[in-house]
Structure 1
Amino acid sequence: MTTHSPGHSAINPGRNAYILILGLVIIFLTLNSASAFPINSVVASNFSGPTDSGELEVFMDGAVNTQLKAHHIPGATVAVVKDGQVIFAKGYGYADIDERKQVAGNQTLFRVGSVSKLFIWTAVMQLAEQGKLDLDADVNIYLKDFQIPSTYSRPITLKNLMSHTSGFEDLAIGGRVFVRSSTDIMPLDEYLKKEMPARVRPPGELTAYSNYGSDLAAYIVEQASGMPFDKYVEQNILLPLDMNNTTFDQPLPSRLASNMSNGYVYEDNAYIAKPFEYLQVWPAGSMSSTSEDMAKFMIAHLQNGKYGNSRILQEDTAQQMHSSLFKNDPGVSGIAYGFLEMNPDKPRVIGHGGDTILFHTQLVLIPESQLGLFISCNEQASESAVNELWQVFMDYYYPLPLSSVHEPISGFEQNAGLFAGSYRPTRSAYTNFEKLASLFQEVRVSPGPNDTLITSQLFQGSKKWIEVKPLTFIPADGLPSRDGLVFGKDSEGHINYLFMKLNPTTAYEKVPWHDDININLSLLGGCILLFLSTLIWPMRLITKRSPWKPKKPATIARLFAGGASMINFLFLVGLISLFLAKPEDAEFLYSITTFLIVLLAIALIAAILALSSVAFAVLAWKNSYWDLSARIHYSLVVLALLAFVWWLNNWNFLGFKL
């Protein structure tokens, strides 16, 4: 299941780590085309980024067109700014394939997903600059119609919201992020009251990307300014920057609707245009814009709030906004005042990604080079292409030095077992059945050969690492890389946290044994085998010469246990079909469906039958219903039923926790 709410750029999250392209040769291998652009015509001569717009166009044409072809992407829009000027802006491919309408950088709108959040944070900084907001105050002082519960002694502040350290769980389904039409969108205040997620950790401890927290900040902007959020942004950011082709509106206003790119799904060798997407979390992800408009926003931030004769932030405020606010560990990327640190080393890179179901976007700023890059694509599976494009850009114009040889630090072999375990992302659900998604996002850590540590994720392969400083790891392959891992200790000194160097929005926490993916998959496998083994019971009844006597206690015992087994198996089949649905067709993402309610009802019925079967197991031994092997088999089935009840409860499938 994809739960990338807008922005998992970071993001879903996402699914989903940054793809690192290592060195110029590896760039070409990754792009799968040695002829993507002529090697002799684009030679990076320094580390200041592109300096010639003609050379940059050659580079971009090769890189973007190769990605469009390799990933079956209909269209893309790109802009590069430097030293206060747009040095490149261009559309590629099609905004509408059937109409043969090409993407135009100055005209075609793309959905930018969570890049929208940068406008929330810019608005917050504007109001803080005016003294209307206090970034360190309890956010409850700005909330008139509802309050955030005092779950922990420390209150949530705007700084916590900006750094995604508020401590909220992450909920996505049932219309919490996407809805089917504009009429399904709740007013912002109603949404914030009705869909408030649980506070699951104290604020300021770990990052856990939050659309809800971002929308809460947008609502606070409304309260402090006395204006609807979209109107505030229009008057105080869009108009001063001449961003005339940008809007949060859903659907688009008529003057812009004809310029909106379709979002596509590539399936069965054909491009299928999908309807306009509607987001419930609209301040956090509904913006539609052109690459040229986004270039103006990048210029304003690179110039510390100034664009032409306009200013959206005072210089000191802009510098503060770009500075580091929170890091899970000093050795990893952090979060500024809303901007994400995408590379903590030289050159320092800040920005934000954005994902809807159909559009994927990256906005990248390199302040020391006065350079900005914006990329957006219009196909459901284009997230990896967008990430590859900006990484290719970085590796070409800001190449990494050749790696020196690193040896593992002494003592690693004795301590390797301390790192072992499964780690789940903090950006997870905890109180409803969405918690199950975290099981398949766990990172498994285990000791490897030759003083290495191995990390693996389900369906995503594995990677080896070596420890070069205490708790700090780099890739073991020795190739130039920006990647890295850092482990963290809890208050008792145990290694309980894993941080990925290039993912500032999510920490990983070691899970208890009952949430470990290996244990869960083994338990499910054993349960399924025992559930299916009950199919021999009706077969025996059919082959018996004597007529079936339904009131016979032994037969009733098998009816209860066998019925519970088959219902559990039916539940698992339904659950798999639910989670394997294509995102654009997964109706449960948009609303609480009848199918979902029935599925949870089935789980409850199966649990009741399973508990009833315990009594029959006792009677089977007391009254010797069958021979010894049959009684052992029945008891094992009942144990599997009880284990499955525990499993259902552990993952919040009992009690209609929606």
Structure 2
Amino acid sequence: MVGWLSIRLVVFLMICATVSSTNCPNREWIKKSLKKAHIPGAVVMVINATDTLYAEAFGHQSLTPKRHMNIDRSIFSLASVSKTFVGTAVMQLVEQSLVDLDIDVNQYLSEPQKRIFHPDFPSNSITLRKLLSHSASIATSRQVTNSYYHPGDTAFAESLTDACYRIINPNTSNWLPQPPGTVIYYSNEGNSLAALVVEKVSNMSYIDYVEAKILKPLGIDINKTGVRLADFSNIEDLVKHYAYAYNESSVEVWHEKLPKFNITKISKDFPTWLQIPFYGFSIYPAGLLRMSARSLATYLQMFLNNGSSILRPQSIVEMRRPVGDGLILYYSPNSADQLANVDAGLGWYWLTKNNGRRYVGHEGSMPGVTHSMFVNEKNNLGVIVLSTGDISSETQQSKETYETVTNIYMSLFECFDTDIM
């Protein structure tokens, strides 16, 4: 869920030049790569519109007790890959003429006493297009983001409505010094506000809407999807969260970051694994959707099939189209740090390699998970990597973990996308 997008994109550019198109990754290479980066487990899939071209599970979803990762049964928290579902839900409502992408969202929220607007630019309305493309000028600090996490299901004591209005209101400092619609800045809160619009317009909770209108029509077993721990009859199917600790100071950092959590060491000797308990957060649409890699692949095939049975092809085109025709840049206080290789669509974004190849999809990271889900520019090949790697500490270890996940999915694109040369 966390941003850290600028660091990840820099690493992405570095890696793009290192992957060889002449060598397809084999299981042993991926296994060794995961082990070297201290990633306990992962599931890797390559799909086209109709078939699974590659599917492998590596390592463990639980270290104590030992449980092997499984393509069909292991349930991951999808982190920010969840945001693509918000875009899909909104476009379904657009198709039904229930919402307009360019109308002030306050019209749909129907809370006249709690209007949402930028305090310095009140005439620049907050719209669904701006929320889904991270261009609404909503910005929160890392400290605020860390405060969202609560152990178990306790975060759900606060409703999505209350959480959005608490965080995104003109009386807070959670805004950029730029008018909405002029810059891109990654926002979990903005994406969740778009999901709140889905709730209000559909008269369904957001997760109920996703399961009834997106997952079930695609043939995905909604008994094996959810957001709360209570949504799952067998909690042993849930992939556990871990972080690698070299010394006691690593433990202290985690205790400071997540003081509400009783993060424990698996072994008394260092280095060791830290087990992060299952957690949640009230703005759950931005990162807490839980499902298996197989289910996620079914969803991604919908995208490859131009909407399949749940969206019109024009809606897929709209989600893929960069906001502002790609002319709106990622915000940085230092203009020299502007990121020109990221273009935001609606719930999806584009990454451009240094050789000009482009991929649309989403990455995701939260404590104990790092994921990637991307589609090539021709929209005929998708790659999913779901892993238990942790990059939330912003250390050299985090960089190596992110590099490993990126290397894996880029090498698979190089291998299976035979028309790229």
What is the TM-score normalised by the length of structure 1? 0.52
Three-state SS of the structure 2 residue aligned to 1:215 is helix
Matched, 1:168 2:138: yes
Code of the aligned partner of 2:133: S
In structure 1, which of residues 66, 85, 89 is the aligned counterpart of residue 51 of structure 2? 85
Where does residue 80 of structure 2 map in the other structure?
114
Encode CA deviations 1:473-527: one digit per residue, 9 max, x unaligned: xxxxxxxxxxxxxxxxxxxxxxxxxxxxxxxxxxxxxxxxxxxxxxxxxxxxxxx
In structure 2, which of residues 40, 55, 69 is the aligned counterpart of residue 74 of structure 1? 40
In structure 2, which of residues 116, 128, 150 is the aligned counterpart of residue 179 of structure 1? 150
Where does residue 313 of structure 2 map in the other structure?
315
Where does residue 359 of structure 1 map in the other structure?
369
Code of the aligned partner of 1:11: L
Contact 2:164/2:283, CA 8 A, preserved across alignment: no
Q: Report deviation, 1:397.
A: 5.2
Three-state SS of the structure 2 residue aligned to 1:350 is strand
Where does residue 175 of structure 2 map in the other structure?
199
In structure 1, which of residues 248, 263, 266 is the aligned counterpart of residue 241 of structure 2? 263
Where does residue 407 of structure 2 map in the other structure?
388
Where does residue 343 of structure 2 map in the other structure?
334
Where does residue 223 of structure 1 map in the other structure?
200
Partner Cα distance (1:179, 1:16) in 2: 30
Code of the aligned partner of 2:211: E
Partner Cα distance (1:150, 1:195) in 2: 12
Partner Cα distance (2:390, 2:193) in 1: 28
In structure 2, which of residues 283, 296, 299 is the aligned counterpart of residue 297 of structure 1? 299
Instruction: List gaps (5 residues or longer) in structure 1.
Output: 1-5, 29-41, 45-55, 403-658
Partner Cα distance (1:22, 1:133) in 2: 39
In structure 1, which of residues 351, 372, 377 is the aligned counterpart of residue 382 of structure 2? 372
Where does residue 618 of structure 1 map in the other structure?
none
Structure-to-structure mapping, 1:204-603, within 5 angstroms: 204-244=181-221, 246-267=224-245, 268-306=270-308, 311-326=309-324, 327-328=326-327, 332-343=341-352, 347-368=357-378, 370-381=380-391, 382-396=401-415
Contact 2:40/2:61, CA 8 A, preserved across alignment: yes
Q: Report deviation, 1:19.
A: 5.0
Partner Cα distance (2:22, 2:287) in 1: 37
Aligned in 2, Cα 1:168/1:254: closer, same or farther, shift over 3 Å? closer
Three-state SS of the structure 1 residue aligned to 2:82 is helix
Aligned in 2, Cα 1:320/1:60: closer, same or farther, shift over 3 Å? farther
Three-state SS of the structure 2 residue aligned to 1:352 is strand
Three-state SS of the structure 2 residue aligned to 1:255 is coil
Three-state SS of the structure 2 residue aligned to 1:379 is coil
Q: Report deviation, 1:347.
A: 4.2
Aligned in 2, Cα 1:168/1:184: closer, same or farther, shift over 3 Å? same
Matched, 1:128 2:94: yes
Partner Cα distance (2:125, 2:232) in 1: 43
Encode CA deviations 1:389-410: one digit per residue, 9 max, x unaligned: 22333455569999xxxxxxxx
Instruction: List gaps (5 residues or longer) in structure 2.
Output: 246-269, 330-339, 392-400
Code of the aligned partner of 1:114: S
Contact 1:179/1:279, CA 8 A, preserved across alignment: yes
Partner Cα distance (2:315, 2:155) in 1: 37
Q: Report deviation, 1:378.
A: 0.8
Aligned in 2, Cα 1:362/1:150: closer, same or farther, shift over 3 Å? closer
RCO comparison, higher one (Cα < 8 Å, 6+): 2
Partner Cα distance (1:364, 1:237) in 2: 19
Partner Cα distance (1:383, 1:392) in 2: 14
Aligned in 2, Cα 1:143/1:169: closer, same or farther, shift over 3 Å? same
Encode CA deviations 1:157-196: one digit per residue, 9 max, x unaligned: 1111111110112234356531234223311111112222
Q: CA RMSD in A?
A: 2.7
Q: Report deviation, 1:15.
A: 8.7
Q: Report deviation, 1:248.
A: 3.5
Code of the aligned partner of 1:340: Y
Encode CA deviations 1:229-287: one digit per residue, 9 max, x unaligned: 01000100111122226533222523342211111122223223221122232110001
How many residue pairs are counted as aligned between the two chains? 364
Encode CA deviations 1:571-622: one digit per residue, 9 max, x unaligned: xxxxxxxxxxxxxxxxxxxxxxxxxxxxxxxxxxxxxxxxxxxxxxxxxxxx
Contact 1:347/1:368, CA 8 A, preserved across alignment: no
Q: Report deviation, 1:121.
A: 0.7
Q: Report deviation, 1:362.
A: 0.4
Encode CA deviations 1:58-110: one digit per residue, 9 max, x unaligned: x2413421221211111001111014211222210111123221101111112
Contact 1:248/1:283, CA 8 A, preserved across alignment: no
Matched, 1:188 2:160: yes
Q: Report deviation, 1:336.
A: 1.6
Contact 1:22/1:395, CA 8 A, preserved across alignment: no
Aligned in 2, Cα 1:218/1:143: closer, same or farther, shift over 3 Å? same
Encode CA deviations 1:101-135: one digit per residue, 9 max, x unaligned: 11011111122100000011100000011000000
Partner Cα distance (1:66, 1:20) in 2: 21
Three-state SS of the structure 2 residue aligned to 1:364 is strand
Percent identity reads 24
Contact 2:152/2:277, CA 8 A, preserved across alignment: no
Where does residue 147 of structure 1 map in the other structure?
115
Partner Cα distance (2:9, 2:416) in 1: 27
Aligned in 2, Cα 1:329/1:148: closer, same or farther, shift over 3 Å? closer
Aligned in 2, Cα 1:232/1:108: closer, same or farther, shift over 3 Å? same
What is the TM-score normalised by the length of structure 2? 0.79
Aligned in 2, Cα 1:110/1:92: closer, same or farther, shift over 3 Å? same
Contact 2:154/2:280, CA 8 A, preserved across alignment: no
Where does residue 532 of structure 1 map in the other structure?
none
Contact 2:118/2:175, CA 8 A, preserved across alignment: no
Partner Cα distance (2:234, 2:82) in 1: 18
Partner Cα distance (1:177, 1:161) in 2: 19
Contact 2:11/2:403, CA 8 A, preserved across alignment: no
Code of the aligned partner of 1:272: L
